[in-house]
Chains A and B, each alone.
Chain A
Amino acid sequence: MADDVTTSSSVAASPASSSPQTGPAILPPRVAGPARAGRRKTGVASWRKRAEIAFFVAPALVLFFMFVVWPIITAVQISMFKWKGIGPMVDFVGLANYVSVLQNSLFTDAIVHNFIIVIASIVIQLPLGLGIALLLNRKMWGQGLLRTLIFVPYVLAEVVAGVVWRQLLVPRYGGIDAIARALHIPTPEQGFLGTPDLALATVIFVLTWKYLGLAVILFLAGLQGVPEDLYEAAQLDGASWWQVQRKITVPLLGPTVRTWAFLSMIGALQVFDMVWILTGGGPVNRTSTMATFLIYQGTKSQQFGIASAASVILFVIALVLAVLYQQTILRRDTHPDQPRRKKKVK
């Protein structure tokens, strides 16, 4: 909070950085004045205000508690027991389920697969999505149609897309094999999804096909936010199209890209539907993710303790990564003052 003092008044006015602990005296009074005065009013008024807040916030809090906090607490509770799903939970095992999950090579493999998907999603979709967005941002014939086409896979239900791709990828009788055969391109005997070494790459390909549309549409939206006059100024200075993209468009697209990467990362950590439909985690667990592990090894094996432990671990990994990402990368966007200040210091 002390940082605020050194920054300009416009930054301090942002709601995230104003706080009751900061003495009003050192804040620029022009900005903080009215709010402070409101809080210092008589007891009745402040009580009314609190009641008002409680009234409007309570429904959201109740829902949040019911559908977020309570399930998490229950999951943690179940993860401490050995429980087959019938009868009372009596066999308390402490952290044994966590030990057994973390020692299970199927789970550690699943984590590795998850991280491969996280990295591959970003490494493949970022340049591809950015390229397509830049192209589609140019004035050209059929722009709207192309934008729609790119976005269609994202609109399709994941299960439907999964079933379609599974049918296409069926070895010998599927569409992909038929086309490849006609072109005399050899295809793997076990099919793309059935060959252990190719299965994960195939799943990543389908995921890219599915989610590229989201990246493109987000980047396109971000491009609309780049002020037109910057382009004009650059053009006046004689910048080429490439230079404009590299020096102006891409840097100004930063916040959008960082938000997209965050969504992509969380989605990749939790990926379940597509994998479950395409491969069920197979062949021989080569495409398993943490989510398929907890369904197959957990609930389908009547080991609810194991399933809950795995889900808590998945939650913790996702939470830690999310917080780290927010604190390091997204901070540039939510607290734009800090990097700017550092530059000033230099």
Chain B
Amino acid sequence: MTRKIRAGAFVALGATIALLAGCAGSGSANGGGDTTAAAKNADAKTITWWHNSNTGEGKDYYDQVAKDFEAETGVHVEVSAMQHEDMLTKLAAALQSGDPDQIPDVFMSRGGGELKNEVEAGVTRDLTDVAADTISKISNFTGQYTVDDKVYALPFSMGIVGFWYNKDLFAQAGITDVNPAPTIEEFNDYIAKLKAAGIVPASVGAGDKWPAAHYWYYNVVRECTFDTVETAIASKDYSDPCFIKAGEDLEAIVAEKPFNDGFLSTKAQEGPTSASGLLATGKVAMELAGHWEPGVTGGLTEDGKVPSFLGWFAYPTFDGQQGGAKDQMGGGDAWEVSTSAPDAAVDFAQYLLSDKVQQGFAKLDMGLPTNPTATDSISNETLKQLIPVRDAGGTVQLYLDTRLGSAVGNPMNDAIAQVFAGNPGPQEIVDAITNAAKSE
């Protein structure tokens, strides 16, 4: 009897495996059209492209771009426009499978540690030579997409983080001449004046951790030279005192108590009580956020329009800082080409960075274009203010959690959130990064 039960179990096991295999097989059909993927390597007439502009004008624009490319080159582009989180999940699954039929030919990348992992796993193509022309045009921004001196992705949008502020509330507090690049003293003066006028100076979504962490990242960009940060990341040695200084600066800012009530549990962008929502509804005077802020606040106002009162100034500078005054912190999106993709995919990625495509991209305010010929095409005047600051000649450091990868980034953000909760401290942040980096 036991033997028969075992035999039965094996049959069940076999059936299970067959079923699982069946599920895995059918998964690729949803992923990106496996029949075309199989055929594509033969004649290279079809490539797959995943992006996250899945609504409205952005989606239509990208569909048109794909059609134009086909008209020019005869290569058909199979476009999959997905909601951002969906895209990340599907991309992770496709990359996990390691199956060339499932991995899209051209896909989005945020750079940093994530890209490094992909390079190590051998799924992403070295574009240094094959896309040399395009890279020379956008070389200011390829640094974050370079691993071991090889460029693995073409950044098509690069934004910077800074303070979005409510011009009306600032005026109400008697701050009329807002410095587009204030010092920390001027910044603290704004806070004092806003408080005196009974206005909550700033909102921060510390509940989501990363918005709070941006303060520390920016302090690092200010206090440390760009090379110090890069060397520290490469050697996993964060003993340079500038990192401690960044933490002390953060403690000083938190001690000013500029933040909204309940900031420790405030979300970044969800709903009117989120940090962005409080800015959009005129409940706080400013928020530290990236180039997405006009879009996000626009979605959180009653009329659905970007608030007309939005202004922008850069993160304050500190006395005696080592970092370049023009250096900024930000991040963007880039196009990666998979190792299994045909050469036409590289052409397409370059086509997406061409003057024409980038200008259309800028006109629709889909991001801050990296191609210099496209920056004048940005429609939104508030967004346009960021371009001269971004292109002032300094370097743009990537959000450090993205730069370091989430395995180090999350413990770092945790430690930074502790400082916002009034706990220690500068050394603990550095320790958290060092420990996570060493055990990675």
Contacts and interface: CB of A to CB of B under 8 A. Distances in A.
Given A50-B4, A167-B271, A279-B265, 7 more contacts: A66-B16, A106-B414, A191-B262, A279-B207, A280-B207, A284-B417, A297-B410
A86 B117 contact: yes
Interface string A184-224: 00000111011110010000000000000000000000000
A289 interface: no
Looking at B9, B118, B207, which has the most chain A CB atoms within 10 Å of its CB? B207
A85 B120 CA distance: 12
B377 to A, nearest CB: 36
A77 interface: no
A88 B96 CA distance: 8
B1 A50 contact: yes
A279 B265 CA distance: 6
A86 B96 contact: yes
Contacts of A170: 262, 273
Q: Interface residue tally of chain A, by bracket? A: 35 or more
A84 interface: yes
Given A61-B12, A279-B207, A87 B121 contact: yes
A88 B206 CA distance: 36
B407 A190 contact: no
B174 interface: no
Interface in B398-428: 405-407, 409-411, 414, 417-418, 421, 423
B265 to A, nearest CB: 4
A86 B121 contact: yes
A58 B11 CA distance: 9
* 10 A-B pairs with the lowest CB-CB distances in the bound complex, closest first: A171-B262, A87-B121, A191-B262, A194-B265, A283-B264, A194-B264, A194-B262, A86-B121, A171-B261, A301-B410
Contacts of A61: 8-9, 12
A314 B14 CA distance: 29
Interface string B274-292: 0000000001000000000
A225 B23 CA distance: 47
Interface in A66-113: 66, 70, 84-88, 100, 106
Interface string B192-212: 000000000000001111000
A283 B421 contact: yes
Contact of A301 (B15, B19, B262, B407): B407
Contacts of A65: 12-13, 16
A254 interface: no
Given A85-B96, A283-B421, A191 B261 contact: yes
Contacts of A199: 265
B410 A296 contact: yes
A100 B439 contact: yes
Interface string B110-154: 000010011011110000000000000000000000000000000
A199 to B, nearest CB: 8
Contacts of B262: 170-172, 189-191, 193-194
Contacts of B418: 284
Interface in A162-178: 167, 170-174
Interface in A140-169: 167
Interface residues of B, number: 48
Majority secondary structure, B binding face: helix
Given A86-B117, A87-B123, A170-B273, A190 B263 contact: yes
B44 interface: no
Interface of A: 50, 54, 58, 61-62, 65-66, 70, 84-88, 100, 106, 167, 170-174, 189-191, 193-196, 199, 279-280, 282-285, 296-297, 300-303
Interface of B: 1, 4, 8-9, 11-13, 15-16, 19-20, 92, 95-96, 98, 114, 117-118, 120-123, 206-209, 260-266, 271, 273, 283, 405-407, 409-411, 414, 417-418, 421, 423, 439
B117 A302 contact: yes
Majority secondary structure, A binding face: loop
Contact of B421 (A62, A167, A196): A196
Nearest to B13: A65
Contacts of A189: 261-262
A197 B406 CA distance: 28
Contacts of B120: 87
A192 to B, nearest CB: 9
Contacts of B265: 190-191, 193-194, 199, 279, 282-283
Contacts of B421: 196, 283-284
Contacts of A106: 414
Contacts of A85: 92, 95-96
A78 to B, nearest CB: 11
Looking at A84, A88, A279, which has the most chain B CB atoms within 10 Å of its CB? A84
Nearest to A46: B1
16 contacts: A58-B11, A62-B12, A88-B98, A170-B262, A170-B273, A171-B261, A189-B261, A190-B261, A190-B262, A194-B266, A282-B206, A283-B207, A283-B264, A300-B406, A302-B114, A303-B407
Contacts of B121: 86-87
A167 B118 CA distance: 39
Nearest to A96: B439
A87 B417 contact: no
A196 B207 CA distance: 12
Contacts of B16: 62, 65-66, 70
B264 A196 contact: yes
A54 B8 contact: yes
Contacts of A62: 12, 15-16, 19
B98 A87 contact: yes
B117 A84 contact: yes
A191 B405 CA distance: 32
B109 to A, nearest CB: 13
